[in-house]
Structure formats: C-alpha cells, structure tokens
Amino acid sequence: MLKNTKALLADIWTLAKPYWFSEEKWMARGLLGAIIALNLTAVYVEVVFNAWNNDFYNSLQNRNRDEFFHQLLIFAGIAAAAIVIAVYQLYLSQMLQIRWRRWLTDRYLGEWTSLHAHYRMQLAVHETEHGPSSGTDNPDQRIAEDLNNFCDKSLELTLGLLSAVVTLGSFAAILWKLSGTLNFALAGTQYAVPGYMLWVALLYALGGTFIMQKLGHPLVGLNFNQQKFEANFRFSLVRFRENSESIALYGGERDELGALELRFADVVSNWWAIMKRQKILTWFGSGYSQIAIIFPYVAAAPRYFSGAIQLGGLMQTASAFDKVRESLSWFITAYVKLADWKATTNRLITFHKAAQQARLQAESGAGIKIDETAIGGGYALREAQIALPTGHVLLDQVNLDLARGQSVLINGPSGSGKSTVFRAFAGIWPFGSGKAARPKDAHALFLPQKPYLTIGSLREQLLYPAPPQLPDDDALRAALTDCGLPHFISRLDEQQHWAQLLSGGEQQRIAIARALLHRPDWLFLDEATSALDEESEDRLYRLLAARLPQTAIISIGHRASLAAHHQRRLLISGTGDSPRQLAWAS
C-alpha cells in the first residue's frame, strides 16, 4: 500500500508541478496562499466557536438572561466571520481551479496536436488491445472532463487535508485540556488516563479509517472503468450520429442498436458493481457517523455526572471531540473522492506519457525521417522501408524522386500500400525506416479521399487550413463556381455541419477548391476525386492543370482515365506476404 501511495503521489506531482512553476506561478501561488490563509482563519473561528459553546450553555444552565443575550451577540459576530470566509474560500478556489484548468488544457492540447502526436497515439492504440498505449482511449474525455476533475479534486482534497491537520492540532490540545484525567479500577488496580477523550477519539477514528480503506479499495478500479465505459458509449453515439446516412443506406440500425446496447451493458454492469460497493461503504459510514453523534456525550458523561464539569464544559468537550474525530476521519469521509481522484490521475498520467512518447518518437526521427533539403529541391524517398504497425513490411528499399512541376500517377491493387506512401510523403507515417526528403520551401497540400470538414461556415471549409495569405471573397466565389458549386456562393457565411450536409462528391469538390485557393507547390491527391463521375473528374484535373501550372501533382487512383492527366506513372506490384515493388511504368 505504501508503494502504491508513493507512486500515486509521484504521478500527481508530475501532473501538477508544471503549472506551479509556469509563467503563472506567482498568481497561482498567491491565490493558493490566500485560500490557505482563509482555511487557517476558518479553523481559528471554529476554535472561538468551541469556546463560545462553554459560555453559552453555562448561561443556560445558570439561567443568566443577560449573559445569554450577550453570547447571542458574540455568536452573530462569529457567524458573520464564518460566512465571509466561506464565500471567499469558494470564490478564490474556483478562480484558481479555472485558471489551472485553462493552463493544463492548453498544455495538453498542445501535446496532443503537435508533431502529429494525436495520429501516432491513435495508431499505437490499434497495435494491440492491451498494448502499452491501451490507456489512451477517449482523449476527448481526458482533456475535457479528467483535467477539470483533476483540478477540482486536487484543490478540494489537498485543502481539506490541510484543514483537517490544522483542526486536529488545534482541537487536540483543547480536548486534552478539557478531558482531565479518567480514574478507574481494573482487577483491583487503580488506573489514571490523562486526556482520555483524546485517546478515545483517536482509537475511534483510526479504527473506522482502517475498516473504510479495506471496504473501499475496489472503488478505485471501478471508477476508472466507469469513466472508460461511459466515454466508449458516448463515442459510439457520436459515431452513429455522424454516420447516420451510411447506416440508413445499409439498413444497419439493428446492428448498431446491438452494438450500442453492448456498450451500455458495460456501463450498467460496472455501475451495479459500484452501487454494491458504495452500499457497503454507506452501511459502515452511516453507522460510524450516527454513533459519533452520541458517542462523545457518553464518553464525557462520567465527569459531568461527577460534577467535575458543567453543562457548558460537556458541550464544549463534545464539540472538541467531534472536531478531532472529524479530522482523524477525514480519510473516511473523503474516500470516494480519493478513489475518483486516483482513477482520474491514472487516466491522465497514461495519456500524458503516451503523448510524450509519441512526441519523443517524432523528435528523435523514429520511423521514416524527414530530411528538409535545399530550397528548390524535390520530394524523394531514400532507402525507405515502409511498414505497418504490426511490423509487416509493405515496401522495402524504396528510392524515388519527384521533381518540381511534375505530374505523377501512382497505381496499384487495393492494399498494396499506395495510401501509406502518401502518408510517408506527408511525414506522418511513423512505421518504417529511411528518409523522406522534401524542400525547405515546399508548400504542400495533401488531399485524402474523404476530406475533413469542420463545423463552421462554408468560408472556413474553403480556407482550411488557413493559408498564409487569405484570398478575398471574389476568389472564394470563383473557386466555388469553377469546381461546380456555384449554388453555394450565397451560403459562404452559413454555419453548418458540412460533413453531414454535403454529398461525397460535393465534399471532394470543396477539397479541390481548397487547392485552387492555397496554390501549393506540391499537391498530393489520394483518390481525391473517386466520388465524382469521370467527366467531372476530367474537368477538375484540367482545371488544376490550367490554374496551377507550376504545381507538381501526385495522384493515387484506380481509374485508367487519370493517366491522361499525368506525365509519369508509378506502379506498385506484388502479392502475398513479400514486400511490394515500386517502379516507374515504361
């Protein structure tokens, strides 16, 4: 258990440390200092309130009306101070939480999106179901929910523990003084126990903590799995919504329903396990808390009935006992939150390590290394070996040069590795070895078979990714017209989920319009016109040649008609498990 605790604290520190030593460190530390000061002040107010109990209840016992009303005025002051402290404790804690969350979100988004780490992590996840990267599922949940939960729980539990420690130190001294000495005889021998109420509170709380830890330990794994199953179910629903047309065309609703029900069955099954475990914890926790209400009065009753203390002393002793017991029982009351915190930390640390590993692989040049050649050069593969994530070699010892302004068509049977060559030229394929050379001044645009469309305006679709110089509206309208989409000109600023609104052919026309607007030096197209009829495809290729005469166009396609639009042709041949061959067609 000690080893696991040390590992958890190390993981928490790994996640938390960067913010507290970042450019925001002084603001963060200042806010934390103010919150800690308010916490300590709140403990002092509780100490004052504990002393007030003695005077107030003694005034009742002595039927002293003047003292009674005087104590009510004192209570009003104590209550006002407690209210102000509570308000600013919450306000400053929330301020620190959102600042911390914003900083962490920016950092994690940067780690995830830079150097194609998101793509490398996705490929690594699919290597094996239980491989090293199996913990990086649902990155959206980890960034959107887990970071928020981590900041919230870190502040709540850390400050709660600090408050418990300070409260324990303050009220332990008070309880020791109020308890006096308990004298009793056992087997003919007289015993005296000084500060006995403190020892009773200590034994009561430690016993409860030990039992709670034993009963609640399984919650850590259950909470981890619950978050995972919930995210998987939510992701499946999103995929169903985004692919509703394809599902409807296939008539696949029954299959989808079955898959969704299986995903939700994991949620329900794990939820039942959490319910059963929390039921056990609630039985114990509720019993522990209910007994704690009366227990200090029973323990202090002998001194009250002996006349050693008055009613005020009894109430003050019971209040001090309860504060000591609450402090020592902090682990019990916070156990469920601690379990959730640990599960959140585990998810974030696996995501962080996976992102760091992906970035380190990219920075170290693992896989096919990108070599930026002198200005004016061309694209090339040198001694390149292109492999699959499983390690299977698709192409071996590839040496290939693509000159500026050249148009090349890459042909080959399905599954031969054409799209993988496309990814290697893009510099995103991490599996293999050798070099992919590209000129330093290369302005390249890669168009996959299924264009990526954001949720936004049509203008944003045409300009994605944002070019160095933004074209004017006349250029946007001309691009739409040239690509056969003049009816969309009036909708340039309309906000839509365009991937669901446009047909496959219209989406590919948008991608060609992007190429016309970006005017790249190198244009790579991976089946980028496959959803169009041959006549439309022919017109768009002629358009590219006319509008982008200096652009090198490298296409992957199956149609024989594409050959007329390219100067040279590359063939990928071979079958079976042996590496494919890549050669120029005669």
Whether 257 and 514 have beta carbons less than 8 Å apart is answered as no
> What would you report as the CA-atom Rg of the chain, rounded to the nearest whole angstrom?
35
Strands 495-497 and 552-556: unpaired
For residues 169 and 270, state if they share a domain: yes
For residues 535 and 471, state if they share a domain: yes
For residues 306 and 394, state if they share a domain: no
For residues 416 and 309, state if they share a domain: no
Domain of residue 452, CATH code: 3.40.50.300
Of 363, 381, 398, the position where a domain reaches its end is 363
Of 363, 387, 406, the position where a domain reaches its end is 363
Residue 35's identity, in one-letter code, is I
Between 16-20, 100-104, 289-293, the lowest mean confidence (pLDDT) is in 289-293
Domain of residue 263, CATH code: 1.20.1560.10
Strands 407-411 and 432-439: unpaired
Measured CA to CA, the distance from residue 337 to residue 332 in angstroms comes to 10
For residues 312 and 387, state if they share a domain: no
What is the domain extent for residue 57? 2-363
For residues 110 and 244, state if they share a domain: yes
Backbone φ/ψ region at 571: left (φ over 0), alpha (ψ -120 to 50), beta: beta
For residues 539 and 571, state if they share a domain: yes
What is the number of domains present in the chain? 2
For residues 416 and 452, state if they share a domain: yes
For residues 419 and 355, state if they share a domain: no
Q: Which two tokens stand for residue 208?
A: 């409860």
For residues 30 and 160, state if they share a domain: yes
For residues 201 and 328, state if they share a domain: yes
For residues 64 and 93, state if they share a domain: yes
In 3-state terms, what secondary structure has residue 497?
strand
pLDDT, one tens digit per residue, over 75-130 is: 999 999 999 999 999 999 999 999 999 998 888 888 877 767 777 777 764 443 33
Between 348-352, 357-361, 483-487, the lowest mean confidence (pLDDT) is in 357-361
Of 327, 345, 363, the position where a domain reaches its end is 363
Measured CA to CA, the distance from residue 358 to residue 366 in angstroms comes to 10
Q: For the whole model, what pTM was predicted?
A: 0.67
Average pLDDT value for residue range 396-421 = 82
Between 10-14, 303-307, 490-494, 536-540, the lowest mean confidence (pLDDT) is in 303-307
Burial-class residue 173 by CB neighbours within 10 Å (0-12, 13-18, 19+).
Answer: middle
Q: Is the pLDDT of residue 251 over 80?
A: no
